[in-house]
Each structure stands twice: as C-alpha cells, then as structure tokens.
Copies of this chain bind each other. A is one copy, B any other.
Amino acid sequence: MHLGLDPGKIRHAREIARAITEPILIKILAHTTDSVERATLRLMGLDGADEDDIPYPNILVRHLRDRLGEGLAPLVAQAAKDRGLSLRELAYGVSEEKIDLRDFQPADRDAAGAECERLLRENIRRVERQVAARDGFVRELGQGEPPWLYVIVATGNIYEDVVQAQMAARQGADIIAVIRSTAQSLLDYVPEGITTTGFGGTYATQANFRVMREALDEVSREVGRYIRLVNYASGLCMPEIAAMGALERLDMMLNDSMYGILFRDINPLRTFIDQHLSRMISAYARIIINTGEDNYLTTADAVEAAHTVLASDLINERFAHEAGLPADLMGLGHAFEVYPEMTDSYLYELAQALLIREVFPDHPIKFMPPTKHMTGDIFRGYALNAMFNFTGVLTGQSIQLLGMLTEAMHTPFLMDRALAINNARLMFNAARHLAENLEIKPHSWLLQRSAEVLDRAITMLERIAEIGLFQAIADGMFADIKRPPEGGKGGDGVVLKSADYANPLLKILTEKVHGRH
C-alpha cells in the first residue's frame, strides 16, 4: 500500500523544516534553564529531597539562581569535593542553610570541570549499562511484532499500577505507559519517592520508575517478551525526567518540542531549550521519543488540520535530529480523530495514516486512537477502535496506542484495557498480511487527499519559515492555540549563558551521540 508521493516534495518539506529550526537552535544553544541545570545535577548523581519534599536539585538551583549562566554543575562538583561531601550531603547542608555557595569559586576551573565530568561519567556508565541491559533483554526474550500494543495505567497508586501493568503484559501488551498525575507538567520540580495517590494518573518519580521497571522486567521474563516502559519527559521538567528515565531504563518518553507551549502554556523558549537536552539524553539512552501531534486534533478539526500534524512532525523530526536522535528513535505522532459519523470519514483516516507512514518510513511512528469523538456508547467506541487497529496493521504503524472503549468516561478500568488488548490482537492477527494484497488506485481520492495534505503542510512550513516559529505559534498555526513568545510558565527559568558557561554533560553527550551515528 504505497501512495507514491513525490519524493522531491518530501525532501523540500524537510529542508524548510531545517530552515525553521535553525534560528531556534541558535537561541537554544545560547541559553540554559532551571531544568537543564537540575537535569545535569541529577545525572551527576544528585537525588533525594529535603524535609519539605523539595528535591535537592531544586534546592541547589534555587540557591544558585543568580549564577545559572555560568553552569552550576562544575561549581557544585568542586564544592562537594572540597568539603569531602557527597552531593546529597552538600545539598542537605544548603537546605539547612549550613552551607552557602553563592560566592563560591572553585580554585581551579578546569579541575572543577574534571570533577564534574568524573561524576557524570559514573552515571553515564549506568545509562550505558541500562542500554546494554535493554539490548540483552530484547536479544534474549525477543519483543512483540509491530504495531506494538501500547496501553496506559493511571491509578495514582504505583503498586496498583504495577499489578495492572503486569496483567496487561500477560494479556499481550508490548508497552506500558504510566500516565502522570493531572497537572504534573506544571510542577517545576520532580516529586520524590514512591507515590500512592494521584488524580487521573501517578506521579512520575524516579522511585516509581524503578518500581515499575522492576515489575516489567519480571513480567518480561515471565511472558518471554521485552515489555517497554513509557513516561513523560514533558512539561517544566523535560530534561530532568529524561535523565531519570535514562537512569532507570525507560524505553520511551512522551516528548514534544511544542506540546508544553501549546497545551500547557509553558514559555516557548524554555520549552525549546529543555526539549533539546531531553532529547540529547534520550538519544544517548536509546529512548524512543513520542511526539504529541495527536493533541492538535483534539482542539482543531482532524480534516481541516491534517496538514498541521505533518508539518509539526517534520519540525519535531528536525529538532530531534539536531539533538542527535536517529530516525529509529523518533516516534512521531499522529492520530485517528476524524468525526466518525462523517461520510467517508474512514477514507480521511486511511489517507493520513498512509501519508505519515510514507513520509517517515524509518521512524517508529506513533498512532493515537480516537479520543475526541468517543462517547459514552462503549460499543460504538469498541467498533471504532477495531477500525483503528485494523488501520494500524493495514498501514504498518509502529506504536499503536490502544483506544479505550471508556475514553469518554474515565481513565481505564482493568477490563477496559483488557478489552482493548483483545481488540488489537484480534485485528492485527486477522489482517496481518492484508497490506501486501492491496494497492491504491491511480488518481483516486486517497491519492489526491494525501498529496493535498502534503502540499498544505509545505505551504504552512513555508509560511512559518517566513515569519519564524515563535510567530507561527503566536498566530495559532498549531492546534488553533495562540501562545505569545514572551508568555507562559517557567519563562523566568530561562537564563542566557555567560561566556564561560560550563556544562561537561553537553560535551559528553555530543561526543557520545555523534560518535555513535
């Protein structure tokens, strides 16, 4: 099932995307953020929180807020070394106001850098071990055949999540995502420790990551198939969560260059800077990112805005590429969100699914199920999900987020998830080799539609290149949502790097990632 789109056009679209991201990249490289610095501290090995549950990385960053532009990591590394303290002890001292680093200057900046690098390399090795562990699992146990069955757990209680995740794996799921608690994206810190309450989801914490990873490793062995773990490197703590995920062997991260801006009203520049480091980390940890274009179709119309999904995918692709992510880690997103009661709605879905697959042939693209038009009619929902799953296997999607028949009501019950898995398994198996048998008729509507969407995406990209991405976002070109460049949360966490900004993490990651591909 090949559309045979004009490769020249696709190439052209990619070139414009590059032109769009270039000026942004310059700004990214010139700035750091609270979260970038915190992520670096975390990768140096700092975690834990004080008595008020304020995480130590936040304590240090707050303490040294005025010196962010220098890069905190070498400074902190040296201070700890000088005092013979662990980073945690140092941070504890700061939080107890027994240590004040605000005027601290390392005796030897190079030595400070080296100490920082030493600490980082220790954890970088842990990340490498995790990458090797994942490869080992996959080699030993194998993995599901794409489209991979991706389901969510969202009870608020990590232990309850574990039970449900393991059951899902036994039922056939390939990927488990632990949905975060409502509004965690707006927390400017990552909570600490194991959590057992949350609204509409479970807090992303490093401890929760570890609990779930262990549970999934256990069940992977039981079912003889490596089960992947997903969380969200998204919101105000993008790079930190990416770092935690790298350390705890998450396999995928929801991670988008613009989602936070559009859907969480986070400051645009902050988001661009944060996403860059988060992706460098993910690239190194071989974590697949999942972008969030599906969300556009919940606020804009799926027929009218189809091209915005493609345009955004191309921008996300380029940003990801700049951060060192290879195509096989780019889970670019799209969705099955056309109003189902529209005549020929299915044709629009099929055209779009084929289009995205064809433009991103080497990418593990992520296909989102119907959500917006789901209703309380669970039977209708189940039938729509069947069509969605059928389309997933027919068009060769990679990561299939399973639709829930109760999408319009509540986060999934155990039975909802089980039924979703049954549905996908049935469809994937029943139509496994169907695509090999079909062709798209020349001059057919499907071809015209996909070509038209590609053209409209190009026009849109060209316009964005003209006015700049910040302006495009301000104009509401994505998701019908307007976000001015100066607005949004977390803008105060963006700091211009001083000339002597030092962060060995960036160096290490650049080296490593570029050494590899």
By a beta-carbon cutoff of 8 Å, the part of chain A in contact with chain B is 340-347, 350, 377, 379-380, 382-387, 390, 405, 419, 422-423, 426-427, 429-434, 436-441, 444-447
A451 to chain B, nearest CB (A): 13
Q: Which residues of B contact A444 (CB under 8 A)?
A: 436-438
* Copies of the polypeptide in the assembly: 2
Q: A341-B429, A344-B433, A430-B345 are in contact. Are A379 and B441 (CB under 8 A)?
A: no
Separation of A385 and B429 alpha carbons in the complex (Å)? 16
Whole-angstrom CA separation of A458 from B447 in the bound complex: 39
CA distance A347 to B350 in the complex (A): 18
Known: A379-B379, A387-B427, A437-B445. 15 other contacts (CB 8 A): A341-B429, A342-B430, A344-B430, A344-B434, A346-B431, A346-B434, A350-B437, A379-B419, A379-B423, A380-B423, A380-B426, A383-B383, A437-B444, A438-B444, A439-B439
Bound state CA distance, A422 and B387, in angstroms?
A: 15
Given contacts A436-B444, A439-B441, A441-B437, A344 and B431 within 8 Å (CB-CB): yes
Nearest B residue to A390 via CB reads B387
Q: How far is the CA of A77 from the CA of B287 in the complex (A)?
A: 90
A377–B385 alpha-carbon span in the complex (Å)? 16
Once bound together, how far apart are the Cα atoms of A429 and B339, in whole Å? 11
A197 CA to B157 CA in the complex, in Å? 55
In the A-B complex, the 9 residue pairs with the closest CB atoms: A383-B386, A346-B430, A437-B444, A437-B446, A346-B431, A439-B439, A345-B430, A386-B386, A439-B441
Q: Quick one: which of B340, B430, B440, B447 contacts A430, CB cutoff 8 A?
A: B340
- Measured between beta carbons, the chain B residues less than 8 angstroms from A440 are 437-439
Given the interface pairs A430-B340, A437-B440, A445-B437, the reply to whether A423 lies near B346 with Cβ below 8 Å is no
Q: Report whether B431 and A436 are in contact in the complex, using a CB–CB cutoff of 8 Å.
A: no
What distance in Å separates the Cβ of A342 from its nearest Cβ neighbour in chain B?
8
How long is the Cα–Cα vector from A346 to B405 in the complex, in angstroms?
Answer: 23
Residues of B within 8 A of A431 (CB): 344, 346-347
**Residues of B with C-beta under 8 A to A446:** 437-438
Cα A446 to Cα B346 with chains together (Å) = 22
Q: Given the known A-B contacts A347-B431, A436-B445, A437-B440, are A405 and B379 also in contact in the complex, defined by CB atoms under 8 Å?
A: yes
Residues of B within 8 A of A433 (CB): 344, 347, 445
Closest to A435 in B: B441
Residues of B contacting A423 in the complex (Cβ-Cβ under 8 angstroms): 379-380, 383
Q: Verify A439–B438 contact, CB threshold 8 A.
A: yes
CA distance A439 to B445 in the complex (A): 13
A-B contact pairs, 16 of them (CB 8 A): A340-B430, A344-B430, A344-B432, A344-B434, A346-B430, A347-B433, A350-B434, A379-B419, A380-B423, A383-B426, A390-B390, A437-B440, A437-B444, A437-B445, A438-B440, A439-B440
Report A387 CB to chain B, min CB distance, Å. Answer: 6
Give CA–CA (A383, B438) in the complex, Å: 22
**Nearest CB in chain B: distance from A447 CB, A:** 8
Chain B residues near A430 (CB-CB < 8 A): 340-346, 387
C-alpha spacing A433/B346, complex, angstroms: 9
A344 vs B428: C-alpha distance in the bound complex, in angstroms?
Answer: 9
Docked Cα-Cα span, A466 to B488, in Å, equals 84
B-side contacts of A379, CB under 8 Å: 379, 382, 405, 419, 422-423
Nearest residue, chain B, Cβ from A393: B346
A440 to B379, CA, bound (A): 31
